[in-house]
Amino acid sequence: MIKLIIDTAGGDNSPAAPVEAAVQALKKNEELYIIFTGNEADIRSELAKYDPVDTDRYEIVHAPDVITGDDKPTEAIRLKPESSMMKGIKLLRTGEDIDGMVSTGATGALVAAATVRIGRIPGVIRPVFCPIIPDVNGGVCGISDSGANIKCTPDQLLQFAAMGKLYLKAVFGIDNPRIALLNIGTEAEKGDSVHKDAYKLLSKVYGDSFVGNMEGRDLLSGNYQLIIADGFSGNILVKTMEGTALELMKLLKKKIYSKTRYKVGAMLMKSMFDEIKGFMNYQNYGGSVLLGTEKIIVKGHGSSNALSIEKCIEQALTMRRYNLNAQIEQEIAGIQEYMGVYTGEDHTSI
Amino acid sequence: MIKLIIDTAGGDNSPAAPVEAAVQALKKNEELYIIFTGNEADIRSELAKYDPVDTDRYEIVHAPDVITGDDKPTEAIRLKPESSMMKGIKLLRTGEDIDGMVSTGATGALVAAATVRIGRIPGVIRPVFCPIIPDVNGGVCGISDSGANIKCTPDQLLQFAAMGKLYLKAVFGIDNPRIALLNIGTEAEKGDSVHKDAYKLLSKVYGDSFVGNMEGRDLLSGNYQLIIADGFSGNILVKTMEGTALELMKLLKKKIYSKTRYKVGAMLMKSMFDEIKGFMNYQNYGGSVLLGTEKIIVKGHGSSNALSIEKCIEQALTMRRYNLNAQIEQEIAGIQEYMGVYTGEDHTSI
C-alpha cells in the first residue's frame, strides 16, 4: 500500500479538483490509499459526485483552516495548525506508514513547513525544491534549487545535483542528465567562491555529465537537463522565464486584436498558438518536488485542474515505487568523501 | 568640446559600423571631437568612404590588437595593452580632457578594465553596469546592476539606485522612476540579510519612489522603471529574459514553417511580427552604461550597426551635457548619512 495525503485546500480549484484527482487516481492504482485534509463536509460533498469509493481506501482528516499566498510562510506554520496543509505536514511527520503529500497550496509555506518539520534523508544537508520546465525541443529540465535555500555551500549544490539526477531518472527515465551550474558566464572561474568551488566539485563527482556553467539565456535551449543553482538565483531564473513568456504571449494577443488582418492570420494559426500555449503550460509537466525530506512532497501549481493534480499523484506514486529516497540516501553516502573539502570561502582575488 | 573615444574593434560590424556612426555623429554635433582607437589603416580606409571629415575634429590612435569574447577579462587587461579597448581605457585615464568612450567590444573586459583603471566619482563605492530593457507598454527599465558586482552590500545597492535614477533622468527624461529591488518574493522580509537591509535603506531614502521588492516574473510588466539588483542575480535576470524571448521567437518561426496554413497566417501578420522583433531588439534602446566612473562608458551590443552605435554616441553626449557625473557626486553626498548603518550581516533567523 502507498499512503498519500491530499491537501484539498489552498489551490484555485480546491476542493473540487484535488478530490476528483484523488478519485481518479484511486481507480487506477490499487495500492493507493488516500488521506484527505481539509473541510470534511466539503470533501464529502465532492466525493458524492462520483461512484462511491471503497471507504477502506481513504480517510478524511478535518482541517477547517486554509493557508493562502498572503500568509507569511513562517507565520502560517505557527499560526495555522488547523489548516489542511499544516495538518497534512503533521500527519506526515507522525504517521510512519504515510509516504507523501500532494498539495496545490502556497509554495512558500509548504516548502518551509516540510523543511522544518519533516526529517531529512540521512546525509542530506538541506532539502531542495525542484520544478520541471520544458525546453523548446520537447524535453524537460529540472531546476535544483529554485527557492528553498537562499544561501548555499558548494556541498549543498553538489547534493542538489545528486538528488535532482535521481529524480529525473525516477520520474522521467533520464539516465545521466546533462548537468549545468547556473552562473553569470560559462567559464570555470565565473561567479563567487561558492560557485567556483561548486564547479570543481561537480566536475570531480559527475565528470562528463557535468557540462559546466550555463547562463540564463540558455535555459530553454535544450542543452541542459538539470540546472544546479542556489535558491535565490534559481528562483529568479524560473520566474523570469515564466514572466517573459507570459508577457510576450500577452503582447502578441494584444497586437493580434489591433488589426483585422492580424485576426485572420491568427485564426489560421490557432492550433499552432494552442501548441505553444500547451508547451508553456507548467501543468503539463507535473508538479514541483521537494527532494531530501524523508517523505515525498509534490507541489502542484496553484491553478492546477483535476488532471494536473492526478499527474502529481502519479508522480508521487512513481517516486515511491522507485524507492527514490533510498536511492538518494545511497547516492549521498557515495559522494560523502567529497564533502567538506570545498568551503566556498573567499580564496581568490581578482 | 566633448571628446569621446570610439573603440573601432571587437564588434560584429567593426570597424565599418563604429566609423560610420562617428562620422554621422560628428556631422550632427558640432562640439564633438573623436579619438578612434583601432587599426589605423582600416580606420582610414573606412573614413575614405565618406565626405572628408575636418582633421581638426578627430584623431586616430593606432591599436592593432583586438579583445574578443574568448579572452578572459582579467587576462585581457594584462595581456592585450595594444588592443583598441585597452588603449582607449588608458587614454581615458590619462587624458584629462577626454569625456568618455563608446565600445561594442567584449562586455566583461570593458567593465573590468574601466572599473579597475578609471577613477571613481567621489563617494562611489563601486561602479554599476546598467543596461536598459523595454517593457511591453513601450516604456524602458534600467537594471542596476547587471553584472559588474557579484556580491553587494546594502550601501552599494542604495548607490546603484542613486546612480540609476539620475541616469534615467538624464537620458530618458524620467523623473522619480518606480524603483524596485530584485528579490524572490514581494514581501519586505524576503531574501538574505543584504536584501532585507537594502529594502529598509531604499525605503528610507527613496520613500514612495521605492515600490518594494519585485520578482523575476514582473520584469516586462511595466510596473518598474529601475530595478536594483546584485550583479549576480541582475545578470541572470537580464540574460534569462533575453534568452526566453529569443527561444520563443525561434520556436514560433519553426512552427510557422511546419504548415502551409501557418505560413499564410504569418504572412498576414508579418508587420506585427516585425514590430515585436523591433520591441525585442536591444539596439533600439541605446547602449548599456557603466555608472560611477569618472569618465562616461557606453557599451553597445556586439551586433550593433552604425545607427545603434550612433545612438550610443548620442547617449554619451547627453550624459556629458547633463553633467551626469557631477549630479551623481551630489546625490551620493546627499545620501552619505545613511551609509554604514545597515551592514547586511546575518541578524535575523527563521
For A28-40, write each residue's pLDDT tens digit: 999 999 999 999 9
* Separation CA B127–CA B156 (nearest Å): 9
Looking at residue B349, its pLDDT comes to 41
Residue contact A239–B267, C-beta within 8 A = no
Domain ranges of chain B: 1-118
Q: Which residue in B136, B240, B255 is closest to A217 by CB distance?
A: B240
Region of B346 on the Ramachandran plot (φ > 0 left; ψ -120 to 50 alpha; else beta) = beta
Q: Which residue in B182, B259, B279 is closest to A236 by CB distance?
A: B182
Residue contact B245–A244, C-beta within 8 A = yes
Q: Which residue in B244, B267, B272 is closest to A255 by CB distance?
A: B272
Looking at residue B347, its pLDDT comes to 53
- Mean pLDDT value across residues B86-97: 96
CB A13 within 8 A of CB A303: yes
Cell of A277: 500555449
* Separation CA A255–CA B267 (nearest Å): 15
- Mean pLDDT value across residues A307-328: 97
Within 13 Å, how many C-alpha atoms sit on residue B82's CB side? 5
- Percent of chain B past pLDDT 70, that is, above it, reads 98
Q: With contacts defined as CB-CB under 8 Å, which chain A residues touch B185?
A: 108
For A178-189, write each residue's pLDDT tens digit: 999 999 998 888
- Cα torsion angle, A244, A250, A256, A259, sign: negative
Query: What ipTM goes with this model?
Result: 0.92
Q: Which residue in B151, B239, B255 is closest to A216 by CB distance?
A: B239
Q: Which of A255-259, A291-295, B36-40 has the lowest mean pLDDT?
A: A255-259
- Look over chain A and give the mean of its residue pLDDT values, rounded to a whole number: 93
Looking at residue A346, its pLDDT comes to 65
Answer whether B191 touches A (CB < 8 Å): yes
Residue contact A220–B248, C-beta within 8 A = yes
Residue contact A150–B184, C-beta within 8 A = yes
Whether the per-residue pLDDT at A347 is higher than 60: the answer is no
CB A301 within 8 A of CB A287: yes
Of chain B residues 3-32, which have a CB less than 8 A from chain A?
none
Q: Which fold has domain B1-118?
A: Isopropylmalate Dehydrogenase (3.40.718)
Whether the per-residue pLDDT at A350 is higher than 60: the answer is no
Q: Which of A52-61, B87-96, B258-267, B305-314 has the lowest mean pLDDT?
A: B258-267
Whether the per-residue pLDDT at B348 is higher than 70: the answer is no
Looking at residue B1, its pLDDT comes to 96
Cell of A50: 462520483
